[in-house]
Chain A
């Protein structure tokens, strides 16, 4: 029964869908065709490559963690609160989506840089400077990636049935308990999808990172930065690095999907 329904794709959808697949997959195929596979082991053995890959994974994961911690509450405020100016707030929050990342990096300097509004005070009071550190990488990635999470979670919250929350409230649960025990489990698939989007965006982040965090192997040089610089001197090596980043990110996403997304997706 289920299978029959899946095969009956209407023709008007089939053709554009096929074009979309070709459009999205062909560049990837091009990359794979041009990959000098013989160079792959040598590149993998390169300590700088492992370093960049590790830094990418760690910083993207931290950025996703920060985004979850701050973004889910923000999504709740946008979806549920009756505060005035919510639409203005939503527009402001999604600014990083439309801002060219390099501009985002400069903007971060103006706030958190040594001469920035907050950064100057941090430097004077605590001797802490953020630019050119791994912290700066996480901040740049969070800035660019968090809106993806906020939008996903807000959408899930709007689509969720609020009667469950009402029922919980009737049964005596306070708002915080309702949020934890009812709302959050209800929108878990949306949170998971948002977190995956956020992580993927953070992993590929280039412009804001190279501007605000700079590029130094081991501290701030993530894979996209390594790929870009390798492209300047050794394009085949850059392709190998791109394929490696792709393989690791796809592998991670597939693993998560099997363990986590499909189960919650089936429940939804």
Chain B
């Protein structure tokens, strides 16, 4: 639920890349993880750092890429965008970064760590998540001002919290949350457990949560449409596979998978 790629795995990855002897520079290194110049086959390991909300879609797309390229292994690290941006600027060996908001992508791009301009591949809007059956009878954004309800919002420091704040300001609602969650999945977990009456999360999170959670769309959500930029990283150990993954996300199949998961086209 809140799984992250453990440090040990990242270290093992580093070691295996080092053992390959190549880096992104060695075009003639046959053992290195790169494309065969003549063919399309991708090999080696592709490491994608992606916002937690992309977990399900990207896992599916990664498996698809692995099926098309039996020599390729796709590893993901799903976490909050800001945590990932910090890890990348601290030298984490990633090939692709997909952020849940432009400012965190800017952190990486401004550090000169993105190869080329980041591209917005999808968008997400906020939705009200309530436990199945909506026991508290929540109907719209105004209910977030009710003191008698147990309500969860994302903390203002993380993207979904910033978007929530924007929506409340635009709607003129004085929210009375009981907890400010550290990321969107944590907020959703509290809805799933029935411990809060409502939380403000992304439409994609509601879609991923299954039957335990119901989503309520609200018109004010249009005030905070969230862009998801993606970029191949400048120090990518496996740039060819990184390009292929970004292309797959932008392709018709990728966009369909995103739409099925509650995302909207940019």
Contacts and interface: CB of A to CB of B under 8 A. Distances in A.
B179 A214 contact: yes
Interface in B29-71: none
Interface in B147-165: 150, 152, 155, 157-158
Interface string A102-120: 1000100110011100000
A210 B155 CA distance: 12
A211 B186 CA distance: 8
Interface string B195-211: 10000000000000000
Give the contact-size bracket for chain A: 20 to 34
Given A229-B155, A232-B158, A106 B182 contact: no
B181 interface: yes
B83 interface: yes
Nearest to B194: A115
A53 B193 CA distance: 30
Given A106-B189, A215-B181, A220-B179, A232 B80 contact: yes
B180 A233 contact: no
B182 A113 contact: no
Given A113-B195, A132-B150, A232 B180 contact: no
B177 to A, nearest CB: 7
Interface residues of B, number: 22
Given A102-B2, A114-B150, A129-B150, A229 B182 contact: yes
Contact of B193 (A115, A225, A229): A115
A179 interface: no
Chain B contact residues: helix, strand, loop or mixed: loop
A233 B194 contact: no
A29 B179 CA distance: 34
Interface string A174-212: 000000000000000000000000000000000000110
A232 B178 contact: no
Contacts of B195: 109, 113-115, 131
Interface in B111-168: 150, 152, 155, 157-158
B68 to A, nearest CB: 35
Interface in A208-239: 210-211, 213-217, 220-221, 225, 228-233, 235
Contacts of B180: 214-217, 221, 229
Contacts of B190: 214
Contacts of B193: 106, 109-110, 113, 115
A213 B190 CA distance: 11
A102 B2 CA distance: 9
Contacts of A113: 193-195
30 contacts: A106-B193, A114-B150, A114-B194, A115-B194, A129-B150, A131-B150, A131-B195, A132-B178, A132-B179, A211-B186, A214-B179, A214-B180, A214-B181, A215-B155, A215-B180, A215-B181, A215-B182, A216-B177, A216-B179, A221-B180, A229-B158, A229-B180, A230-B157, A231-B83, A231-B86, A232-B82, A232-B157, A233-B82, A233-B157, A235-B86
Given A132-B179, A233-B82, 10 more contacts: A113-B194, A114-B150, A210-B182, A214-B180, A214-B190, A228-B182, A230-B157, A232-B83, A232-B155, A232-B158
Interface of B: 2, 80, 82-83, 86, 150, 152, 155, 157-158, 177-182, 186, 189-190, 193-195
